[in-house]
Amino acid sequence: MQSRIKAFPWQELLLPLAAVVLALLIGSVLILYVGENPLTAYGILFRESLGSVRNIATTLQRATPLMFTGLAVAFAFRAGLFNIGAEGQLYLGAFAAVWVGISFNLPRIIHLPLAIIASMVGGALWASIAGFLKAKLGVHEVINTIMLNFIALFLTDWLVTGPFHGGSWVPETVRISPTAALSRIYPPTRLTTAVYLALVAALVVYIILWKTKRGYELRAVGLNPSAAEYGGINVPRNTIIAMAISGALAGLAGAEQILGLNNRFIVRFSSDLGFMGIAVGLLGKNHPAGVILAAVLFGALQTGSAAMDRLTAVPRELITVIQGLIIFFVAAEFLIRRILRLKEEA
Amino acid sequence: MAKVLEMRAITKQFPRVLANDKVDFDLEQGEIHALVGENGSGKSTLMSILYGLYQKDGGEIIVRGQPVEITEPRQAIDLKIGMVFQHFMLIEPLTVAENIVLGSEIRKGPFLNHKKMVAEVERLSQEYGLQIDPEARIADLSVGLQQRVEILKALYRGAEILVLDEPTAVLTPQEVEDLFQVLRTLKSKGTSIIFITHKIKEVLAVSDRVSVLRRGKKVGTKLTKDTNEQELAEMMVGRVVLLRVEKGPANPGPEVLRLDGVTVKDQFGQVKVNNVSLSVRRGEVLGIAGVEGNGQSELVEAIAGLRKVAGGRIYLGDQDITGWSPLRIRKAGFGFVPEDRHRRGLILDYSVADNLILGIHGSRPFAGTAGIRNQGKIMEHAEELIEKYDVRPPVAAQAVRNLSGGNQQKVVVAREFAQNPDLLICSQPTRGVDVGAIEFIHQQVIAQRDQGAAVLLVSAELDEVLSLSDRVAVMYNGEIVSVMPIEEATEHKLGFLMLGGHPEEYGAGEVSGNAEQN
């Protein structure tokens, strides 16, 4: 019973919430500066992102890839790994998905799951390289995932403009077979069943981390690798596994983009979804439920910002500023905590 | 004698605990006043208030008859109060003289006046009889000498009241004796000393008066000559304590652990354990005495599979376990209380329940099919051990981080002992643990022995080695220099060997017992 209560740290919700409120407050100063009423601007932002079923659907569509990349970052973080490489893993996952999507002729019931699994395998393999380098050679994962991002980017650039080029003047592949495409839930919005997949992924992440032996080991490695080793836990092996699972989650974000949104691989399609995942993981406290909420928040901000830009003098870039401020305050909270903890120990 | 310091009704409230509850304390001119109590009894808090590191919530401080407010260390120093911390605050690459004058350097124009600094430090060390080379680098000094530098630092700043926070925790027995000599000299020069410790023997050896704190309150102040070990222990713990563990004679059975010429290197290729051969039998405790850093940690970690063995073989029962993984060695019947519970033994952010399964978390009944954790069994296991090993507070879901040091250690001990291993290694099993918990852990070690475990005990505390062991080995510079039955081991003899004395020389030249340390 106790374990169920502590599973989601509700009191920890307070601090991210405070970060969001503070960021919106500072944002309102900027809105005043451009001569608008913050209440009006935020009113539009809210209405256009969450004010109707259709707007909510759009928000969720924007949130879905962030749920995956947020989960990817959070999962690795729980095992003590800072996965900056979700972006690259997403591209590799996306490419694997598009490859399955265009190369095979299969019934939908096989084709779609196969494409989804391919995206996970693609992401997982790419991330495993980083995990292997960290576990066996001690190359810090921050460095090697950043490097692998570039490699992934240029590798897919080449694949899509070269061997897999669709033939048009645009740097993109041909469209995937409809049997590999995710179905839309609420047309005309582009929200697809990928959102269900994201929720399932969050649940699976939760179960792995807190309900399995593997999760116990992964978190132990994240919290205290020395003690984990002492407890008979194979640290290098768990490092590779953590990166692989993280990469698989990032790969799913690629699947959502390919099989749901674009139905083809357009060169450099990701608008920093992998990097946004770091922010989402941070804001969501690296807890699957928190990640889902944070992703929805970011999705809503992005969805509402277009209308705000259109209907007021507030430029949509304000939303980027607000997102930055949210992260700033969440990060500052870590800083404040650390200072407090040091004091206690002194 | 005049009172140089009076602290009256000092109260300090921390978020969850009342660390000091109307504590009175006074210090007379030229006395050594011991301040004792278990961990968390408020001794360090009281002294931190005196030194301006914490602000008191109530009470007053009177220094040489004047009420004072001390809000930062600078003010304490101006009042001629000096403090030597348990963890030294020295800059290792700098010399002794540079460290001592740090903050009030002697200059010549914009440059340091090196010559004068050295001369000044030399004069000071002469005056107080604290021999030291002012131009030696801190990094090259032994711990005992580093502490001496800390004391000189305080004296250089004019300290007349000197506070030493658990100064003996890091010292070898001989260094402790040297320190006591220094304290007596300082006392004869008129310095008043507050000596914080939780070791009763030291109180009796060096102090004039002793004050006991328990749970933030002062229990009493006694003249040292009017009290004894038993009385002080009871004042500290609040109940009758067994200072010596009661144990029957050992009943050794067949060999359980055998080391055959084991050599271990560190990550730089330096030999840390050199060709060590040992054997531990069922039903006996083999104690390894030695100054820390002489290879004990490396040896023990090699046995546990946490360090590579560079040469030799390790046998557990009749199996050659050299090079096995830690998990496989555990499963072969091995339990291990590591020396550093925070680094190795515990995952502080895990609950008590989750820590109690570390190492057996992957086995039934804690993990079932498909590796799903059995939460019910994990909690059941925790409740059982919490009760048996008296872990307080008895909350299985509590994070171990929130437990006291003694209770954290009980979690480690409970986990390792509950498996009834054939081989049990206890490395510094009572470090930083209260008197009451020490008593309990010692009883458990003997209980394991009597149930037929082979116990290898590594401890820097000679008392502990002497009271638990059936045989004693001394480790020096990576080698086992001597193994003797407990009947032949005395504190003095072990101390001699621990500092590199040759076994055959012992007793021949008593003078070398105080061998020059570096």
Convert the pLDDT of each residue in A232-247 to its tens digit. 999 999 999 999 999 9
Q: Which residue of B has its CA nearest to A231?
A: B359
Q: pLDDT value at position B113?
A: 86
Task: Say how far apart CA A146 and CA A149 lie, in whole Å.
Answer: 5
Report the pLDDT averaged over residues A112-138.
97
SS3 labels along A68-104: HHHHHHHHHHHCCCCCCCHHHHHHHHHHHHHHHHHHC
Q: Does A168 touch chain B (CB under 8 A)?
A: no
Q: pLDDT value at position B141?
A: 87
Report the pLDDT averaged over residues B464-479.
94
Q: Burial, B144: exposed, middle or buried (Cβ in 10 Å; 0-12, 13-18, 19+)? A: buried
Task: Say how far apart CA B463 and CA B485 lie, in whole Å.
Answer: 15
SS3 labels along B468-488: HCCEEEEEECCEEEEEEEHHH
Cβ of B362 within 8 Å of Cβ of A224? The answer is: no
Compute the mean pLDDT over every residue in chain B, rounded to the nearest whole number.
90
| Predicted confidence (pLDDT) at residue A101 exceeds the cutoff of 70 | yes
Q: pLDDT value at position B312?
A: 95
Contacts of A218 in chain B (CB under 8 A): none
| Predicted confidence (pLDDT) at residue B514 exceeds the cutoff of 60 | no
Cβ of B325 within 8 Å of Cβ of A232? The answer is: yes
From A241's Cα to the closest Cα of chain B, the distance in A is 15
Q: Does A46 touch chain B (CB under 8 A)?
A: no
| Predicted confidence (pLDDT) at residue B293 exceeds the cutoff of 90 | no
Tell me if A39 is assigned to some domain.
Answer: no
Q: pTM here?
A: 0.81
Q: pLDDT value at position B499?
A: 81
Task: Say how far apart CA A19 and CA A39 lie, in whole Å.
Answer: 19
Domains B3-237 and B255-349+402-409+416-514 share a fold: yes
B4 φ/ψ angles, rounded to the nearest 5 degrees: -90, -20
Enter the DSSP assignment of A183. P
Q: Burial, B306: exposed, middle or buried (Cβ in 10 Å; 0-12, 13-18, 19+)? A: buried
Report the pLDDT averaged over residues B496-510.
76
From B369's Cα to the closest Cα of chain A, the distance in A is 10
Contact B102, B57 (CB under 8 A): no
Tell me if A47 is assigned to some domain.
Answer: no
For residue B509, which amino acid is it?
G
Contact B435, B387 (CB under 8 A): no
- Tokens of residue A55, six digits: 């707007």
- Contacts by B363-371 with C-beta closer than 8 Å and gap 24+? B366/A213, B367/A212, B367/A213, B370/A212, B371/A212, B371/A213, B371/A214
Q: Which residue of A has its CA nearest to B338?
A: A230
What's the pLDDT tens digit per position in B26-46?
999 999 999 998 877 888 889
Which of B328, B358, B375 lies nearest to residue A227, judging by beta carbons? Answer: B358
Q: pLDDT value at position A5?
A: 39
- Cβ count within 10 A of residue B392: 13
Cβ of B375 within 8 Å of Cβ of A212? The answer is: no
Report the pLDDT averaged over residues B149-158.
91
C-alpha distances in Å from residue B51, one per residue of B72, B217, B389: 7, 19, 38
A 257-316 residues with CB < 8 A to B:
none
A44 φ/ψ angles, rounded to the nearest 5 degrees: -65, -45
A113: left (phi over 0), alpha (psi -120 to 50) or beta: alpha
Lowest mean pLDDT among A137-151, A220-234, B228-242, B250-264: B228-242
Q: Where are the domains of chain B?
A: 3-237, 255-349+402-409+416-514, 351-398
Task: Say how far apart CA B441 and CA B447 lie, in whole Å.
Answer: 10
* Radius of gyration of chain A, Cα coordinates, nearest whole angstrom: 21
Contact A251, A104 (CB under 8 A): no
| Predicted confidence (pLDDT) at residue B380 exceeds the cutoff of 90 | yes
Contacts of A341 in chain B (CB under 8 A): none
Contacts of A224 in chain B (CB under 8 A): 343, 346-348
Under 8 Å CB pairs connecting chains A and B tally to 75
User: Please, which residues have CB within 8 angstroms of residue A14's CB and are 6 or more apart in sequence?
Assistant: none
Indicate which of A12, A230, A234 best probes the interface with B, i.e. most B CBs within 10 Å of its own CB: A230
Cβ of A227 within 8 Å of Cβ of B336? The answer is: no
Contact B82, B89 (CB under 8 A): no
A310: left (phi over 0), alpha (psi -120 to 50) or beta: alpha
> Which residues in B423-470 belong to E strands, given as ranges?
423-427, 454-459
Q: pLDDT value at position A153?
A: 96
CATH architecture entry for B3-237: 3-Layer(aba) Sandwich (3.40)
The 3-state DSSP class for residue B263 equals strand
Lowest mean pLDDT among B6-15, B100-109, B183-192, B393-402: B100-109
Q: Does A223 touch chain B (CB under 8 A)?
A: yes
Backbone CA torsion sign across B219, B221, B226, B229:
positive
Q: Which residue of B has its CA nearest to A232?
A: B327
Tell me if A168 is assigned to some domain.
Answer: yes
For residue A212, which amino acid is it?
T
Could you tell me the CATH number of the domain that includes residue A94? 1.10.3470
Q: Does A220 touch chain B (CB under 8 A)?
A: yes
Contact B341, B409 (CB under 8 A): yes
Indicate which of B342, B347, B348, B425 best probes the interface with A, i.e. most A CBs within 10 Å of its own CB: B347
| Predicted confidence (pLDDT) at residue B512 exceeds the cutoff of 70 | no
Contacts of B89 in chain A (CB under 8 A): none
Enter the DSSP assignment of B57. S
Tell me if A170 is assigned to some domain.
Answer: yes
Tell me if A32 is assigned to some domain.
Answer: no
Q: pLDDT value at position B238?
A: 84
Cβ of B362 within 8 Å of Cβ of A6? The answer is: no
Q: Which residue of A has its CA nearest to B350?
A: A220
Residue among B20, B57, B24 at smallest CA distance from B42: B20
B249 φ/ψ angles, rounded to the nearest 5 degrees: -65, 155
- Tokens of residue A201, six digits: 């992924």
Tell me if A192 is assigned to some domain.
Answer: yes
Tell me if A133 is assigned to some domain.
Answer: yes
- Tokens of residue A99, six digits: 């490859």
C-alpha distances in Å from residue B65, one per residue of A290, B33, B79, B280: 60, 19, 12, 61
Task: Say how far apart CA B78 and CA B101 lie, in whole Å.
Answer: 15
Task: Say how far apart CA B414 and CA B386 lie, in whole Å.
Answer: 8
Report the pLDDT averaged over residues B70-93.
90
Cβ of B348 within 8 Å of Cβ of A224? The answer is: yes
Task: Say how far apart CA A211 and CA A213 lie, in whole Å.
Answer: 7
Enter the DSSP assignment of B67. E
Enter the DSSP assignment of B295. S
| Predicted confidence (pLDDT) at residue B2 exceeds the cutoff of 50 | yes
Q: Which residue of B has its CA nearest to A3?
A: B397
| Predicted confidence (pLDDT) at residue B171 exceeds the cutoff of 90 | no
Q: pLDDT value at position B518?
A: 38
Q: pLDDT value at position A132?
A: 97
Q: Which residue of A has its CA nearest to B328?
A: A232
Q: pLDDT value at position B142?
A: 84
A 189-218 residues with CB < 8 A to B:
211-217
B471 confidence band (pLDDT: 50, 70, 90)? very high
Q: Which residue of B has its CA nearest to A217?
A: B361
Cβ of B53 within 8 Å of Cβ of A346? The answer is: yes
What's the total number of domains in chain A?
1
Cβ of A213 within 8 Å of Cβ of B367? The answer is: yes
Tell me if A149 is assigned to some domain.
Answer: yes
B246 confidence band (pLDDT: 50, 70, 90)? confident
For residue A8, which amino acid is it?
F
Task: Say how far apart CA A62 and CA A66 lie, in whole Å.
Answer: 7
Cβ of A223 within 8 Å of Cβ of B325? The answer is: no
Q: pLDDT value at position B418?
A: 95
Cβ of A232 within 8 Å of Cβ of B344? The answer is: no
Task: Say how far apart CA B123 and CA B101 lie, in whole Å.
Answer: 13
A321 confidence band (pLDDT: 50, 70, 90)? very high
- Contacts by A314-318 with C-beta closer than 8 Å and gap 24+? A314/A31, A314/A34, A314/A36, A314/A41, A315/A34, A318/A27, A318/A30, A318/A31
Cβ of B358 within 8 Å of Cβ of A231? The answer is: yes
Which comes out higher in pLDDT, residue B267 or B151? B151
Task: Say how far apart CA B299 and CA B479 lie, in whole Å.
Answer: 10
Q: pLDDT value at position A341?
A: 53
Which of A223, A230, A233 lies nearest to residue B350, judging by beta carbons? Answer: A223
Which of B347, B361, B371 lies nearest to residue A227, judging by beta carbons? Answer: B347
Q: pLDDT value at position A9?
A: 58
Q: pLDDT value at position A336?
A: 54
Cβ of A232 within 8 Å of Cβ of B326? The answer is: yes
From A220's Cα to the closest Cα of chain B, the distance in A is 7
Report the pLDDT averaged over residues B64-71.
92
| Predicted confidence (pLDDT) at residue B255 exceeds the cutoff of 90 | yes
| Predicted confidence (pLDDT) at residue B510 exceeds the cutoff of 60 | no
Cβ of A230 within 8 Å of Cβ of B304? The answer is: yes
Which comes out higher in pLDDT, residue B355 or B126? B355
The 3-state DSSP class for residue B151 equals helix
Q: pLDDT value at position B329?
A: 96
B1 confidence band (pLDDT: 50, 70, 90)? low
Q: pLDDT value at position A79?
A: 96
* Radius of gyration of chain B, Cα coordinates, nearest whole angstrom: 25
From A137's Cα to the closest Cα of chain B, the distance in A is 15
Contacts of B328 in chain A (CB under 8 A): 232
Give the number of C-alpha atoms closer than 13 A to the C-alpha of residue A271, restricted to the C-beta side.
Answer: 7
| Predicted confidence (pLDDT) at residue B376 exceeds the cutoff of 90 | yes
Cβ of A2 within 8 Å of Cβ of B358? The answer is: no
| Predicted confidence (pLDDT) at residue A203 exceeds the cutoff of 60 | yes
Segments forming the whole domain that contains residue A210: 16-27+53-345
Range B447-471 burial, b when 16+ CB lie within 10 A, else e = ebbeeebbbbbbbbbbbbbbbbbbb
Contact B314, B322 (CB under 8 A): yes
Please tell me which of B131-140, B288-297, B449-458 the model is most confident about, judged by mean pLDDT.
Answer: B449-458
Indicate which of A212, A221, A224 best probes the interface with B, i.e. most B CBs within 10 Å of its own CB: A224
A338 confidence band (pLDDT: 50, 70, 90)? low
Q: Does A4 touch chain B (CB under 8 A)?
A: no
Lowest mean pLDDT among A43-47, A135-139, A326-330, B261-265: A326-330
Cβ of A232 within 8 Å of Cβ of B362? The answer is: yes
Contact A175, A103 (CB under 8 A): no
What's the pLDDT tens digit per position in B432-449?
787 788 889 999 999 999
Task: Say how far apart CA B374 and CA B356 lie, in whole Å.
Answer: 14
Task: Say how far apart CA B102 and CA B459 lie, in whole Å.
Answer: 36
User: Please, which residues have CB within 8 angstroms of residue A43's CB and are 6 or more apart in sequence?
Assistant: none
Indicate which of A6, A204, A212, A216 best probes the interface with B, i.e. most B CBs within 10 Å of its own CB: A216
| Predicted confidence (pLDDT) at residue B150 exceeds the cutoff of 50 | yes
B452: left (phi over 0), alpha (psi -120 to 50) or beta: left
Task: Look at the domain B255-349+402-409+416-514 and name its fold.
Answer: Rossmann fold (3.40.50)
Residue among A160, A334, A134 at smallest CA distance from A236: A134
Which comes out higher in pLDDT, residue B297 or B169? B297
Report the pLDDT averaged over residues B417-424.
96
B406 confidence band (pLDDT: 50, 70, 90)? confident
Q: pLDDT value at position A8?
A: 52
What's the pLDDT tens digit per position in B197-212?
878 888 999 999 999 9
Q: pLDDT value at position A337?
A: 60
